[in-house]
Copies of this chain bind each other. A is one copy, B any other.
Amino acid sequence: MQALDLAQAFTLIEPGPVVLVTTHDGGQDNIMTISWTMVMDFKPLFAITTGAWNHSFAALRKHRECVLAIPTVDLLDQVVGIGTCSGADTNKLARCELTPVPARLVRPPLIQQCLANIECRVVDFIDRHDIVVLEGVAAYLDTERQERRMLHAVGDGTFIVDGRRLDRRKMMAAKLPPGV
């Protein structure tokens, strides 16, 4: 995994992929699957919708740190497996054969098998809507990975895989933020 310029980190979340979120509760790492995410700023700032119904939320609330890890299509069954069991009674990382790697600025781990990882600190909780606002503080991309197609949850048990990429950089030049 190579360091990625923070100015580019929002481009990992903007396409709307399924994301794994790692947390650490002081004793143990945990991981959850989430697709309710949103870019809020190029800084980068992100929103995720989660609450007490997720076991990971208590650790996020208390320690105010997480890692957003972006899986690719070859990890689909791990993604679904993580989403269908609870960290309350399972060591999900070990069960899904995902390898935690120490992060640089936060305690929750990066996930070695993922295409990209973003270390995040919580900057706000919007309790009335179960929104957690995160600021990315370090980012990484596995530039040697062959499989780079991300997954998009439909919400009905099916997942759309990234297809081809179309380039409109020239048309959009005036609107792009610096550094991307």
Enumerate chain A interface residues (CB-CB to B < 8 A).
Answer: 8, 10-11, 14-17, 35-41, 47-49, 73, 76-77, 80-81, 83-84, 124, 126, 128-131, 133, 149-177, 180
Complex contacts, A16 vs chain B, CB 8 Å: 15-17, 35, 152
Candidate in A8, A162, A168, A177 with the most chain B CB atoms within 10 angstroms: A168
Residues of B within 8 A of A157 (CB): 167-173, 176, 180
Cβ distance A134 to chain B, nearest Cβ, rounded Å: 12
Shortest CB-to-CB span from A167 to chain B, Å, is 5
Q: By the criterion CB–CB under 8 Å, are B84 and A153 in contact?
A: no
Inter-chain pairs besides A11-B154, A126-B131, 12 sampled, C-beta below 8 Å = A8-B156, A14-B154, A15-B154, A15-B155, A47-B131, A77-B168, A77-B171, A84-B175, A149-B163, A157-B168, A159-B166, A163-B163
**Nearest neighbor of A123 in chain B, beta-carbon distance:** B129
Given contacts A40-B36, A131-B131, A175-B84, is CB(A10)–CB(B159) below 8 Å? no
- How far does the alpha carbon of A83 sit from the alpha carbon of B73 in the complex, in Å? 30
Closest B residue to A76 by CB, please name it: B166
Nearest opposing residue in chain B for A124, CB measure: B129
Q: What are the residues of chain B within 8 A of A166 when measuring CB–CB?
A: 73, 76, 151, 158-161
> Which residue, of A11, A149, A152, has the highest number of chain B Cβ atoms within 10 A?
A152
